[in-house]
Amino acid sequence: MRTPVIVILFCLLLCCGLLVAIALAPEVSGALGIAHPRISPMRAGGDGALRLAEIGLYAFAFHCLVLCCVVSFFALGVSQRRYDTRLYIWLAVILIINLAVWYLTYSSHQHYLRTGSTAFFLAFPIPTAWMLYGMGFCGAVFIAFYSIGFKKYVYNEEDAKTLAELVKEQQQQQPN
Amino acid sequence: MDAYRQEIIIAAVLVYLAICVATGIWAMRRTKSSSDFFVAGRSLGPIVLALAIFSSTLSGFGFVGGPGLVYSGGVSSFWMITSGIIGYSICFMLVAKRIRLVAEVRNSISLPDIVAARYNSEAVRFLIALTIVLGVMGYLATQILAMSLVMQSILSGIETFADISLITCSILSSAVLIFYCVTGGIIASVYTDLVQGAIMIIAGVLILLTANSLLDGGLTQASQIIMQDDSEAMMPFGTFGIVTCLGWFFVFGLGVAGQPHMITKMMMNRDIADNRAILPLSIAGYVLSALLWIAIGLVMRALVLDGQTEPLTEVDQAAPMFLSVFANPLLAGIVFAALFAAIMSTSDAFLNIGTAAIIHDIPKAITGRPIKNELLGARIVTVALAALATAFALFSYYVNGSLVALLGAFGWATFAAAIFPVVAIGLNWKGATRQAAIVSVTASLVINLSIQLFAIKLPYGINGGLVAFLVSLILFIGISLVTRAEGQLAPDMEKVMDI
């Protein structure tokens, strides 16, 4: 059961390295947005390309590692005795979908910064639609795994019996 | 109907408060032991629990602060919403089953009970109880202050109560909260959460429809108006930038599984198999309620930029202004009731876990045994804790404005950094050790408190909570790998972790 934990630790250490790289990158003016020129206390984003110039790739890699951590945490929640090939396939598919949505969010934003044009999907520009609906879909995949695979990977009647026996054992040991 | 707007809003809020009081009286008859008071006798069905879980995580911040953040910073704060969906899933996968198993096997009634059983350590119990008390004080004071300010703004709209003071409002709103929490304990809390959750869902959907109808082109037009002014505000990282957004994803997403007011509720279901339905139901409620956050923020920013309404003097006015100018009075009444619901559902959850930490866990960690007549003690501590938090909120408001904000900000990130590794990883990995738990909880408290106290700002908006969370996770796993777990895990806990 150490494997997901080792993967998580490895990813977290790399995340720390990337945060240090971001912290050491040259400061760009307006990295956290600027005061809106006309309306206070509203804020504006300013030059999107400039804001990402020094740290964009670090941030992209950081989130890829975070998504690896998220999937590893999901794997950690499954008891070792339930691990099978189908589980690895599920986890690989979930990871690929998450990474793909993140790539599409980031790359469509980059495309917009280069071209200045974007279409709209359900009220939002495409990059934001990827973030909002795409990440929502990723969440739905996690929920699907949990709900569909519940009896196989989380809890079933056999586990309920084991629990009942365990509770009985405990009650016998502590009659008061 | 517009002529009676304020009266309709007050009537809706009064009906809601009356429901809370009635629920308290009803639940009092079902509360016979400390187990009933703290974990509802582990008897809750899936719908009650699903609504209780999501409504206690979406506090007043979601209804006032959320729209304000979108108004001020564009879509940046959407990351808090979307990360929550994945966060809930992780939380159910890592915590929901195990915490309920330990609770049943050890007859546990609080989160510190669970960690004490897992690590076979009273020191870990004490540290988690201390973390909860520290976090709860700030959170609870923030919620009570918000509740009082909202009540004051509603009541001062009619002539009779034009000069009502904040102190009176805080006493009135806290009195309702205390009444149903003291009489009915967690049973009253979760059943009011059921009502509160339902109101929040209805409000979210109706507000989306209203917001969509204000501009001819609906929300798409709102997005286009915002983009024409400043395209980055509508791009995926909003005005706050990529590092802030990714930090929020980490802290608010993974951090869900470290929030004690949420995970404690996972000990209360009657059957673990119900979790299969509770997860999708909770997320559905969360997403529908969050529509209010998105819709009000976007439309208010677009309307101000388009010159259709005056700029706001404070960003937190986005939701109240939208309700008072653009919403049907009846809808405004429902949303104000929903706002009270959101604040109260979070407050009652904090009151419950804070009381458990003070009356059940800290004495047990120090003396090794529970106090006599825990139920009576719990009721007294609930009153005392709520009164203290109210006094603290008022003191902060009138004397030291930064105190509540400081502890409020300390809350979420501290819970995430201190509790996630110890509970979410610890309950699933036999290699986790008590030494690692003690070091990671202590480190997360020290780092978070230092960041808040010294107002440390990191480059590119790197979130201080993210740093504390990362350090805590690395310390927990790293120290567990280099210390010996043999002999630390009780045989029954070993069996629980095999299920």
Q: Output phi, psi for B30, to 5 deg.
A: -95, -5
| pLDDT tens digits, A82-96 | 999 999 999 999 999
Across the range A81-110, mean pLDDT stands at: 96
Which residues, at least 6 apart from A62, have a Cβ–Cβ distance to it below 8 Å? A15, A18, A19, A22, B246
Residues B350-364 have pLDDT tens digits of 888 899 899 999 999
pLDDT at residue A23 in the model: 96
More confident: A157 or B410: A157
How does the average pLDDT of chain A come out, rounded? Answer: 94
| pLDDT exceeds cutoff 60 at A133 | yes
Residue of B331 and A100 predicted with greater confidence: A100
Q: Does B209 or B190 have the greater pLDDT score?
A: B209
> Residue B460 — pLDDT band, cuts 50, 70, 90?
very high
User: What is the b/e burial string over A89-121, where b = at least 16 CB atoms within 10 angstroms of the residue's CB?
Assistant: ebbeebbebbbebbebbbebbbebbeeeebebe
Cβ contacts below 8 Å, chain A against chain B, sum to: 253
**Per-residue model confidence (pLDDT) at position A146:** 95
- pLDDT value for B31: 75
- Percent of chain A topping pLDDT 70: 97
User: In Å, how far is A29's CA from the nearest CA of chain B?
Assistant: 10
On chain B, the residues whose CB falls within 8 A of the CB of A70 are 86, 90, 253-254
* Mean pLDDT, rounded, of chain B: 88
Residue B250 pLDDT > 90: yes
Task: Please answer whether residues B33 and B175 qualify as being in contact, where contact means their C-beta atoms are separated by less than 8 angstroms.
Answer: no
B350 vs B239: which has the higher pLDDT: B239
How is residue B99 written in tokens?
């915490």
Residue ranges of E strands in B100-205 = none
pLDDT > 80? residue B405: no
**Looking at residues B480-488, what average pLDDT do you find?**
87
The C-alpha atoms of residue B250 and residue B334 are separated, in whole angstroms, by: 33
Question: What span, in angstroms and rounded, lies between the C-alpha atoms of B11 and B14?
Answer: 5
Q: What are the start-end ranges of the H helices in B356-373? A: 362-367
Q: Report the 3 state secondary structure along B250-274.
A: HHHHHHHHHCHHHHHHHHCECCHHH
What's the DSSP call for residue B371? P
How confident is the model over B263-299, as pLDDT tens digits? 998 998 889 999 999 999 999 999 999 999 999 999 9
Say yes or no: B159 contacts chain A, CB-CB below 8 A: no
Helix or strand or coil: residue B429?
A: coil
Q: Does the structure show a pLDDT above 80 at B50?
A: yes
DSSP 8-class letter at A124: E
Which of the residue ranges A11-25, B114-128, B161-175 would you say has the lowest mean pLDDT?
A: B161-175
Q: B108 vs B50, B202, B268, CA distance in Å?
A: 21, 35, 11
Does residue B233 carry a pLDDT above 60?
Answer: yes
CB-based contact A2 B431, cutoff 8 Å: yes
Highest mean pLDDT out of A31-40, B433-442, B489-498: B433-442
Name the helix (H) or strand (E) containing A35.
strand A34-35
pLDDT of residue A120 exceeding 90: yes
Closest Cα in chain A to B495 = A166
Looking at the complex, report in whole angstroms how far the Cα of residue A92 sits from the nearest Cα belonging to chain B.
16
Model confidence at B105: pLDDT above 80? yes
Q: Give yes or no for residue B407 having a pLDDT over 80.
A: no
Determine which of B223, B321, B499 to mutate to test the interface with A (most A C-beta atoms within 10 Å): B499
Determine whether the interchain pair B83/A135 forms a contact, defined as Cβ–Cβ distance below 8 Å. yes
Is residue B9 scored above 90 in pLDDT?
no
Q: Give the mean pLDDT of B94-118.
A: 94
Positive or negative, the CA dihedral B163, B165, B166, B170 is negative
